[in-house]
Amino acid sequence: MKKLIKNGTIVTSSDTYEADILIESGKVVQIGRNISEVDAEVVDATGKLILPGMIDEHTHIESPFGGTVTAPWKTESVAAAIGGTTTVVDFALQPKGKTLMDGVDRWKQRAEGSSAIDYGFHIGVTDLRDDVIEEIPTIVKEGIPTLKVFMAYKNDLMIDDATMYKTLAAAKDEGALVMVHCENGDLISLLQEKCIENNQTEPFYHAVSRPIEVETEATYRAISIAEIVGAPLFIVHVSGDEPAEVIRAAKAKGLPIYAETCPHYLLLTIDELKKPNFEGGKYVCSPPLREQRHIDALWNALKDGTIEAIGSDHCAFNFNGQKELGKDDFRKIPNGGNGIEHRLTLLHTHGVLEGKLSLNKMVDQLSTTPAKVMGLFPAKGTIAVGSDADIVLFDPSKQQTISQSTSHQGLDYDMFEGFETTGAPTDVFLRGKQIVKNGQFIGQLGDGQFVRRNAFGYCYDTIK
């Protein structure tokens, strides 16, 4: 049956206006004033903002790491939906010694039938053999036009500069985009050993062993390699001032460099890692949380377009039984935090209501630009005739306090525990089907579909 959303205010990345939206067969088919359609279920959006479904381009769901595994699709996709996110692009990893497609198939099997929202995958390249380079065109044709490489995690995921060059060159030929974790893994390994030798085993030393310089250096090196290849590059989870400055300079040169930060780098400081009784372990993620000056710099970088996307880097490990693996050695703490559920409401509260971002810019950085960069636009990331009816009704005055006890994420703590927020999604539609009503999940696991994404997208505009 058709649906007609009436009396709301549509907010896209560029416009804010009052109009009705007619939905048929999962798509937006008409937008206009006073649409009357007798044959449609009417949804009243009085007093609500109507936003495109949020896109989270950076999640790690049901992902094995260090002998343990992150929270599963059945909880995290529901938490995402309630938070207004209708599509995630999750990180699959190439198993060592196997093909890229092996990695994608493993991740697809876990998501299929278990996800409440749409999903795509990036493929993390861990072992770039010649046959793997030859596999890149196939993987792109399968709808996976984004590859991820790691400059950190020595003796595990870390790749060398030559491998980065080869990955960028092969990706460029196919119109794919390389995403990079920028931290100098070799130096981190050395600094970690020094900490342990000095008996500095607590969570705080995770941050001490990963100073901003290791991120700044790797960011500069990654951009330099991309510049030599002439390829676009997406820098994930930028955590501070100097790396943002390096990105700003690269953009000023006209290089096709794109960058993301995450809610925790915008809202939490390094002091969280000092919490007693190993509580600091809850905040161990890489790059680490940093001082206030970096937070200020990141908000400025969002404002001036140096950073254009805000992904959650949701990578949820329980405190009990998982984070605790590193109780006596911070190197063994599984890296990652949460953010899939409250990304929109946190950015509305601390970005829009504090005057740091306009509503349109928030929509742009949480939905439209990620959709463009990830090859999902214009099916997703906007409200337009012909787009998927992935739609969020947002009550801009709804007050909430974030707490693990009321969260839908499948973990036993919340990095944002006690944060008071204003504004929350009330109703969410996925390709026209209502999956959240009055803040309650009413969809089904399996409503989500794998989304094939397009190559030669937005990031190739200036180099085609």
Residues that bind Zn ion (CB under 5 A): 313
328 membership: H or E segment, kind and range: none
Identity (one letter) of the amino acid at 161? D
Q: Given the complex with Zn ion, which of 308 and 313 has the nearer CB atom?
A: 313
CB 58, min distance to Zn ion, A: 6
Closer to Zn ion at the Cβ: 219 or 349? 219
Q: Tell me how far, at minimum, the Cβ of 323 lies from Zn ion, in Å.
A: 16
The number of beta carbons lying within 10 Å of the beta carbon of residue 99 is: 18
Nearest to Zn ion of 23, 79 (CB atom): 79
Nearer to Zn ion, 50 or 289 (CB): 289
CA 297 to CA 330: how far, in whole Å? 27
Residue type, 240: G
Least Å distance between CB 237 and Zn ion? 6
Can you tell me the distance from the alpha carbon of 236 to that of 310, in angstroms, rounded to the nearest whole number? 9
Identity of the residue, 114 or 286, whose beta carbon is nearer to Zn ion in the bound complex: 286
CB-nearer residue toward Zn ion: 264 or 372: 264
Q: At what angle do helices 100-111 and 130-141 cross, to 10 degrees?
A: 40
- Residue 331 or residue 433: which is nearer to Zn ion going by CB? 331
Closest distance of CB 441 from Zn ion, Å: 25
Q: C-alpha 157: how far from its chain's center?
A: 19
In this structure, are residues 260 and 285 in contact, taking their beta carbons and an 8 Å threshold? no
Residue 17 CB, nearest approach to Zn ion (Å) = 36
Strand pairing class (49-52; 9-11)? parallel
CA distances from 3 to 45, 263, 430, 447, 448 (A): 12, 33, 12, 18, 19
Q: Which is nearer to Zn ion, 75 or 239 (CB)?
A: 239
Do residues 251 and 228 touch, judged by C-beta distance below 8 A?
Answer: no
**Which residue in this structure is represented by tokens 């007693």?**
276
The Cα–Cα gap between 122 and 92 comes to 6
| CA gap 87, 92 in Å, rounded | 15
When CB distances to Zn ion are compared, the closest residue is: 313
Query: Please, what is the minimum distance in Å from the beta carbon of residue 200 to Zn ion?
Result: 25
DSSP letter string, 12-72: -SS-EEE-EEEEETTEEEEEETT---TTEEEEE-TT-EEEEPEEEEEE--S-EETTEEPPP
The one-letter amino acid at 208: V
Helices (H) then strands (E): counts for the chain: 13, 21
Determine contact, residues 237/287, Cβ cutoff 8 Å: yes
Please tell me the distance from the alpha carbon of residue 330 to that of residue 462, in angstroms, as a whole number. 43
Smallest separation, CB 157 to Zn ion (Å): 11
Q: Are 86 and 390 in contact (CB under 8 A)?
A: yes
In the bound state with Zn ion, the residue whose beta carbon lies nearer, of 236 and 383, is: 236
Closer CB to Zn ion, residue 3 or residue 264?
264
Min CB(397)–Zn ion separation in Å: 33
Query: In the complex, what is the shortest distance from the CB of residue 336 to Zn ion, in angstroms, rounded to a whole number?
Result: 7
The minimum distance between CB 84 and Zn ion, in angstroms, equals 20
Q: Cβ distance 305 to 248 under 8 Å? A: no
Tokens of 209: 């062993």
Q: Closest CB to Zn ion among 148 and 294? A: 148
The least CB distance from residue 281 to Zn ion, in Å, is 18
How many whole angstroms separate alpha carbon 148 and alpha carbon 145? Answer: 10
